[in-house]
Amino acid sequence: MSQALFIGRSVLDVTALVADFPGPDGKAKALANDVIPGGSALNAAVTFAHLGGTASLATSLGSPGPMKAFLASDLSARNVTVHDVCNDPDYRIPLSTVVSTRGLGTRMIVNGAGDECEDVHSRNDLILGGADLIQIDQYERHFVAAHSGALQAYEGTIILDGGSWKDWSPDFLRLADIPIVSEVFCPDGPRAFANLCAELGIFRWAMTRGQRGVLWHERGAEGEIPALPIDAVDTMGAGDIFHGAFCHAFLESGSFVEALNAANQLAGRSCTHVGTRSWMDA
Distance CA 238, CA 240 (A): 5
Q: Give per-residue pLDDT as tens, 72-101.
A: 999 999 999 999 999 999 999 999 998 888
pLDDT score of 66:
92
What pLDDT is recorded for position 112?
82
Write down the pLDDT at residue 235: 82
- In CATH, what is the architecture of 3-10+40-91+118-281? 3-Layer(aba) Sandwich (3.40)
- For the chain, what is the mean pLDDT? 94
Per-residue pLDDT, averaged over 122-144, amounts to 97
* Most trustworthy range by pLDDT among 69-83, 108-122, 267-281: 69-83
Note the pLDDT tens digit of each residue in 172-212.
999 999 999 999 999 899 999 999 999 999 999 999 998 89
What are residue 34's DSSP bridge partners? 15
Asked whether the whole model's pTM tops 0.85, one would answer yes
The pLDDT confidence band at residue 109, using thresholds 50, 70 and 90, is: confident
Judged against a pLDDT cut of 80, whether residue 259 lies above it is answered with: yes
Query: Which of 268, 272, 163, 165 minimizes the C-alpha distance to 212?
Result: 268
pLDDT for 269-278, tens place per residue?
999 988 899 9
Strand partners, 32: 17
Quick one: pLDDT band at residue 104, thresholds 50, 70, 90?
A: low
Whole-number Å distance between alpha carbons of 255 and 225? 14
Across residues 243-267, what is the average pLDDT? Answer: 98
- Judged on CB neighbours under 10 Å (0-12, 13-18, 19+), 177 is middle
Residue 105: its pLDDT value, please?
A: 63
